[in-house]
Every structure is written in C-alpha cells, then in structure tokens.
Chain A
Amino acid sequence: MLDHRVGHDPALGPSGSTMRTISSFFRRHPRLSLASVLTAPVAWLLIVYIGSLAFMIVSALFQLDEQSQEPTTELTAENLRIAFTRSEFLQVVLKSVGVAVAVTLLCFALALPMAFYIAKVAKPWARRALIVAVLLPLWAGYLVKGYAWKAMLRPASEFGINTDGGFLTSVFGWTPGFGWTAVILSLSYLWLPYMVLPIYAGLDRLPPSLLDASGDLGARPLRTFRSVVMPMLVPSIAAGSLFTFSLSLGDFIIPNIVTEGKVRLVGKFIESTLNAPNQPLAAAITLWPLLIIVVYLVGLKRLGAFESL
C-alpha cells in the first residue's frame, strides 16, 4: 500500500504536507522504510535468479515426450540417472574440470608477476597505463577473439588457398594446432584480466610497511613473499580463480571454435542436448557444473579464502 503512495506521489503533484507525512511515517517505522528499499532487489534475487534455478532443477525430473520432444509434466528420475551414471558423461565432466584447472593455474602463473609489477614496481603513470592495457581486451567482442585465435592457430597446409598457415606458424614456425592446447591457451587469454585485477587490488592494499618490517626482521624476499604477501593475497587469488574456473567450466563456444568442433566440453554438451531438443536431460547435465562450483566454493571456504573478506 505504502509503496503505491510513494510511487504515485510525484505524479499527483507533491504538496509539502503529504511529503512531510510520508517521511515522518517512515521515520517512525524504520523497518518499513528498509522494506520499501529492499523488496525489489530481494524479489529479483529470489524469483528471477534462484527461482529460475529451482525451476531448472525441477525440470530435470520431467519426462520427454518421444514424439514431439517437448517436456511433459510426468516425473522421472531417468534423466538424472543418465546424467550421473554414464561413463562418457563423467569423462566429459572430468575433461572440462581439467581444462578449467589448467586455465586457472596458467592464469595465476601469468597474473601474479603481472599484478606484482603493476602494483609494486611500476611508476604511478605506468601503473595506470598497464591497468588499461590489461582491461583493453575486454572491450573486444568475445566471438572476435575466438575466431582471431582460430586464425592465429591455423596450421600451414599445402592444400589451402593460402598455404602459409596462421600467425603462430608464420612467426614462430610452430602451432599447437586445433586441439586441447588451443582450448587452454585461448581460454587463458580470455579470462586473464579477471585474475589480474583481484590480485592487483589485493597487492595494492598491502601496506609497504609490512614488507619493510619483514625485511628488517631478516627475511629474504622469498620468505617475505611466502609468509607475508601470499597469506594476505589468498582472498584475491580465490576471487580470481573463481572467475577463471567457472568461466572456463561453462564456456561452450570458444573450445568449439578453436578445435574445429573436435573438443566438446560440458557446456557444449549441454547446448547440444538442449538443441536436440531434450530440455530435461540438458537440465540434468547442468547439475554437474552447478555441483562442481558448489564444491569449489566450499573448498575455498575450508581453505579460509573468505575469512578476511
């Protein structure tokens, strides 16, 4: 009721006294005032986000009508059984997790020195320029970057119109070709900024006095890094790895592009099942990445990654 009055008020033409009545009412009822502010976003979270997720999980139990290939409301556990027991499905999930872990490790190995240089070594003007440089690839289209990697990775072929091959072949004389390495390289390129930025932010917050103190107490740089810097960076690394891991796990377009369709990760698998169309089975397979991310989050929490957030 009250929401309505507040909402309609400007249209009616606010008179000073109504405004005053409303504001004093809210002052007397602080809970209602908070409620009026929070209702919309919380409803959005619960209905649009969690609600659709819940509906997806429920739809995994629907039976598919064989003829029309549309889900019926008859319930069955068959989709879940297929999604969680077929060894081939398990293999795809394991391969996808493997790729996600490899991408995360590669991103971490690249991002840590980059972020350290930007935060602690570079001069202030260079720092800003470098941050922009890290962010710049995010401005380019996702598909453009995917096809650019495919073009760069293309091996030479004496049978093609242009026999030279892509950038990697013509410059380095070598290319990993359209395979697993291509997937890991291109995904690492795509998600690297999401690892650099949190680590940079973490290092930026690190007071230089701590490094000095560590040095004064006789620690060598490596020891300082291990005992002072790393523990304070854990939440940043956790945040970055969550991005790279989940984005890699869910990606279904780039792996397809850079391997000529030969490599199928779990995302592509869900897409092709959905397009089959077999919506219930696709929903059932979707539980795999969902569970993995939950396990990943719980694991990070166990490691204490969220304690100092």
Chain B
Amino acid sequence: MKTSTRRTRRFGACLATLTLVVAACGDDDDATDTPGTEATDGTDAPTATTADTTADTAAGDTTPADAGTQPAGGLPTELGEGEGEVNLIAWAGYVEDGSTDPAVDWVTEFEETTGCTVNVQLGNSSDEMVQLMQTGEYDGVSASGDATLRLIAGGEVAPVNVDLIPNYADVFEDLKLQSHNSVDGQPYGVPHGRGANLLVFNTDLYTTAPDSWGEVFESTSAAAGSVSIYDSPIYIADAALYLMATQPDLGITNPYALDQEQFDAAIALLEAQEGLAGQYWALYTDQQAALEGGTALAGTTWQVIVNLAQANGAKIDAVKPKEGSTGWSDTWMISSQAAHPNCMYMWMDWIISPKANAAVAEWFGEAPSNTKSCDMTAVPEHCDIFHAGETEYWEDVWYWTTPEETCLDGRSDVTCVPYTEWVNAWNTLRA
C-alpha cells in the first residue's frame, strides 16, 4: 500500500513536469494549424514596429540638433476637443479640488469649463515622479528642476508649443527658457512657480527666530536630537549650501556642482548630522505630524507644511536663513505618451492663468509664475512676501537641478559627482 502511494506520487510529479512540454507542443500545433493564431502573430509584428518608431521619435526629440533645426517639428499646431479626463502627477497642494479645504479649489472650475476630469497622483519626491512618468500612464507632471532634465533626457516628456498656451506670454521672463525647462530655445513645459526650502522652528523652543542652517547641522543646536531632515538625495545640496557659507576654503560655488572633495565634505557633514536627527521625512504628512507633536523642533520644510501644521495649532514658524537656501522652480510638463494631450494643454494653460496660479501660489506658499497673478491673490502683499518679481531675492536660492558629471558651475578642470552617485551616497549614508 505504502509503496504504491509513493509510486503514484512520483508518477504524478513526472506528469506535472511533462504537462508543460505537452502544453508547449499543443501551442505549436495550434500555430501551424489554425489561421487564427497566425493572424495574432501578424498583428504582433506591426505593434512592435510602432513601439520602435515611438521610441525613435522620443529619442529624436531629445537631441539638441533636431530641436534646434526644427523647433516646431512634431509639435501640435492646434488643439482639438478635450478627451474628457487628464491624469496628473503633482506635488501635494498643487492640484486642489476642495477636498482638503473647501475654500481651496481650482480644479472644479477647470473641470466645468473644459469637461476634463482631473485625476491626480501625488508624487512624494522628484525621484518618485520620474519613476511614475516612466510608466507612461500619465499625461503630465509638475516636475522640479532635479527631475526635468532626467525626464527630457529619457524622452519621457515632449516639447511644448507655447503658442497654444495663451497665458504663457504673462510668465515672468526670468522663469522662461531656463536650463531646467528648455533645450536649445525649445520650451519643455510651462513654469508653475518657485519657492525656497525654509528653516522651520518651534516657537516655544526658539523665542527669537534662528537665522542660520546651523540649527540643523551643528551639534550646538538647541534642537539637537529633534531635527527634521528631508529624506532625499537632493538634500546633499543643502549640506553643500551650508558649507558654501561656512567653509569657503572648499570653493563651492554651486551646491549642485560638487567635485569629489567637496562632495565628501558634504557627506561628512550629513554623517555628523545623523546624531541630531529626530526624523527623516519623505511624506509631507509625516513632518506635519512631528511638528504638531513637538518631536520635530527644527528642520527643513516647505511653506505648505507650515501652513497645514499652523492651522492645526502647531507652535512653529519658518524663515529663509542668511546662508540662502535650496529651492524649487517647478514646470508642468506633458508626457510624450500622453493619452489626453488636449486636456493636458488646457491644464497647462489653466494652471498658469492668473486666477489659478494665484490660488496655488497662496496655498502652497510660493511665488507665482504669472506676472498678473499678483493682482489676484487674497492677501494683496503675497507677491511681495514671496518676492515674486524680485530678481535679487532669488540669487541665493538654488533651484533643485540634476547634478551631472559636467560641472554645472562651468569648471572644466574637474569632473563633478553625477546624480546617480548622489543617490548611492545618500543610500549608503542612510544605511
């Protein structure tokens, strides 16, 4: 009895392995016998070719030569009807439909006027946004400067015909055709707004506002052990920025253009900072909770987090320290594989229209990109507070950008540490 069971089992196991062989044979038979399968094969081939062509076009768009000689090549020349919806990747606070705060809503009016339903996926970091855009499932993204160049190089985003975006004409001139949002004079998207990463502090602990990033980097900090740190490779630039002011011998002139020696110094500063850390935040809600709970007493923040936490009663405030700060200049970009390009163009025009742009800028706490937005803010001084039109204010704000081997500060005698190494170093640091 026992042996027979075992034999049956062994037989079964053999059969199981055979099954696949049998299945494979069966498929072969089908392929040769039935015309139906051949038809499927036939459709497969053209699909593959189409995919190849798309990839080629995308790659062609990114080469400066093509973009230079044929700026309008492949660009849409007129807009059709909206496709009924648009899928966006955005920073928290950029696409508000009243669900966070009933008074904060610039999506509903867009949906009503254009008939495009807005679906939004919040991106928690630039890295995550790049990764989401690589899926090709989204129509557009609010990309910061540390993502834009990667998206352009990867063929993830398409050049934009700004003639189809009437509001583009009113955008601040110093935001147009920057290195992070254009290639050889061809815009890749529309500027959304800009802001500085701020130093947040607990007002019970700091009776006078601190004015230096030393509060998050030096062991003498009053907030030691409760420092809230932004958990992203791009934060290495914040350390470089602090070193730029405190250790001039290193010769850092741009926190995103670091040679190996400067980079190592920044990493050493960040290693020492670990002893002060109370939190490494990647989700803005996590920092908000820590600020409200009083477990984060100083740190790097965004104005929108300060607004949300203050509204809940947190005893905090934020400043731009004397060393200057890192910051962002964001761009709405359209995917090269957008399924709803017309709605995306309508969105790009809407989000930089004076009304919507003013509303976003006030809610998120940043400077609007449209010159006419300043007349439409609820707080009349908003543009003054956020220095929207003051060129000199932005001189010590270093917008996030993608570090490359070719130094961004123009040095040619050294190579700089590229972003992939920033990622590796940050991962190593956080290990």
Contact = CB atoms under 8 A, between A and B. Distances in A.
Interface stretch (A199-207, A217-225, A274-282): A274-282
Given A67-B153, A159-B204, A260-B280, A88 B428 contact: yes
A158 B297 CA distance: 11
B294 A264 contact: no
Contacts of B153: 67-68
Given A35-B23, A39-B23, A261 B431 contact: no
Interface stretch (B13-21, B68-76, B240-248, B351-359): B13-21
B114 interface: no
Contacts, number: 131
Interface in A33-75: 34-35, 38-39, 42-43, 46, 64-70
Contact of B26 (A1, A65, A154): A1
Interface stretch (A18-26, A160-168, A230-238): A160-168
A68 B295 contact: no
A157 B16 contact: no
Contacts of B238: none
Nearest to B130: A277
A260 B290 contact: yes
Nearest to A68: B154
A37 to B, nearest CB: 9
B295 A155 contact: yes
A34 B427 contact: no
B204 A269 contact: no
Contacts of B131: 274-275, 277
A82 B424 contact: yes
Contact of B427 (A3, A64, A65, A272): A272
Contact of A35 (B15, B205, B314): B15
A207 to B, nearest CB: 21
B22 A32 contact: yes
Contact of B295 (A39, A154, A275, A276): A154
Interface in B397-413: 405
A65 B424 CA distance: 15
A262 B277 contact: yes
Chain A interface size, as a band, is 35 or more
A92 interface: yes
A116 interface: no
Contact of A43 (B23, B127, B278): B23
Interface in B195-213: 202, 204-205
B279 interface: yes
A68 B290 CA distance: 35
Contacts of B315: 159, 161
Contacts of B293: 154, 157, 160-162
Contact of A160 (B125, B281, B295): B295
Contacts of A4: 30
A70 B134 contact: yes
B134 A261 contact: no
A261 B281 CA distance: 6
Contacts of B128: 275
30 contacts: A1-B33, A32-B22, A35-B18, A39-B22, A42-B19, A42-B20, A43-B20, A43-B23, A65-B154, A66-B420, A86-B428, A88-B431, A154-B295, A157-B293, A158-B294, A159-B204, A160-B314, A161-B312, A261-B279, A261-B280, A261-B281, A262-B279, A264-B431, A272-B430, A274-B131, A275-B125, A275-B128, A276-B423, A277-B130, A277-B131
A-B pairs with lowest CB-CB distance, top 4: A160-B294, A68-B154, A157-B294, A159-B294
Interface of B: 12, 15-16, 18-20, 22-23, 26, 29-30, 33, 125, 127-128, 130-131, 134, 150, 153-156, 202, 204-205, 231, 233, 277-282, 286, 290, 292-295, 297, 312-315, 405, 418, 420, 423-424, 427-428, 430-431
